[in-house]
Structure 1
Amino acid sequence: MTLAIRRVEPGDVVAILDLIVALAVYEREPDAVRATEASLHATLFGPAAEVFAHVAEIDGRVEGVALWFRTYSTWTGRPSLYLEDLFVSEAARGTGAGKALLTALAQEAKRQDCARIDWAVLDWNDTAKTFYSHIGAKRSAGWEPWRLEGEALDRLAGEG
């Protein structure tokens, strides 16, 4: 088995969308994906791309993805990376692909002088929480995720 981690390339979009759909199924939201090949291509490779990804290839096949973007911490006065999604196909779990993706992301964060990497984990995903604890990550106690979307977003923007 050959495991390689690299930055995403335009030819990876189909595989990434497949992984996103598999992630949605895993997270019990099989009908939630609205992303398309075109929207992913525009987001990742458009002229003002602000979303990035690394992929895990096993024997030349994309089997995992870490999709991320930069944020900023006013407390540290430095940028941060936000890991939107980390997913490894079921067939590739246990190969080290997840840890290798996070290692590549940590190296990217250091190259960009980021103070930290943040992400969210579903409260029922004990497997992920155990994995993240094992690599030294800690839960951000006291913080709750919040979201504005759909009709509420439209109303606030004056469109509804």
Structure 2
Amino acid sequence: MNGTTLQFRQATPDDIPGILEMIRRLAAYEKAEDEVRATPELLNEWMFEKRAAEAVVAVAPDAGIVGIAVFFQNFSTWTGSGGMYLEDLFIDEPYRGNGAGRALMAHLAGICKERGWVRLDWACLDWNEPSLGFYQSIGAARMDEWVHHRLTGAALDSLAAEVG
């Protein structure tokens, strides 16, 4: 299937089951299925009620949702303007390798330009050589000098407990 035959559109609440399925497939690809805590209710709350994130779905004729891009607006103090942080990008395996990922990234770049956002950021697992190669092929700059950090669980709770 050629990536240009896929339709890309903003997700709606009706797409939540398909989005959740793509999240689960991404987690399986990353060998982290047991870490998925998202539910349809949580996705609806955070994506459509609180509007904390957005999703673009990739839809194939006669197959439904075969890919997702979940993102949110970030902000650069250095540029003084907004950008996109791509939380998840996933194309189902039968649709990879034919331009679908490139077409979806181009769609996201178009959203950035339309909204006046000056950059598109994301992280990639260091062992994911196919994705790293793909990102290089579209002209992405690898940011090796930056070290990604995360505070979660007990460490987050402990630090928050320090608030008077």
Give the TM interval when normalised to the shorter protein: over 0.9
Which residue of structure 2 lines up, in the alignment, with residue 72 of structure 1?
Answer: 75
Equivalent residues, number: 158
**Which residues of 2 match residues 21-40 of structure 1 at below 5 A?**
21-40=24-43
Identity rate, percent: 46
Q: Could you tell me which runs of 5 or more consecutive residues in structure 2 were left unpaired when the two chains were aligned.
A: none
- Among 59, 62, 69, the alignment partner of 2:61 is 59
The secondary structure found in structure 2 opposite 1:31 is helix
> What CA distance in whole angstroms lies between the structure 1 residues aligned with 2:26 and 2:147?
22
- Name the structure, 1 or 2, with higher relative contact order (CA <8 Å, separation 6+): 2
Which residue of structure 2 lines up, in the alignment, with residue 98 of structure 1?
Answer: 101
> What CA distance in whole angstroms lies between the structure 2 residues aligned with 1:109 and 1:50?
17
Structure 1: 4+ residue segments shifted above 4 A: none
Cα shift at 1:5: 0.6
Paired residue type of 1:124: W
> What CA distance in whole angstroms lies between the structure 1 residues aligned with 2:52 and 2:87?
12
- Across the aligned residues of Structure 1 and Structure 2, the Cα RMSD in angstroms comes to 1.3
Which residue of structure 1 lines up, in the alignment, with residue 52 of structure 2?
Answer: 50
> What CA distance in whole angstroms lies between the structure 1 residues aligned with 2:10 and 2:102?
15
- Among 114, 121, 134, the alignment partner of 1:118 is 121
Say whether residues 1:134 and 2:137 are aligned partners: yes
Q: Using structure 2 for the length normalisation, give the TM-score.
A: 0.92
CA displacement 1:21-60 (0-9 Å, x = unmatched): 11111001110000001111111110x3120010111115
CA displacement 1:68-87 (0-9 Å, x = unmatched): 00010011111110000000
Paired residue type of 2:155: A
> What CA distance in whole angstroms lies between the structure 1 residues aligned with 2:52 and 2:34?
26
Which residue of structure 2 lines up, in the alignment, with residue 152 of structure 1?
Answer: 155
- Among 5, 8, 22, the alignment partner of 1:19 is 22
Q: Could you tell me which runs of 5 or more consecutive residues in structure 1 were left unpaired when the two chains were aligned.
A: none
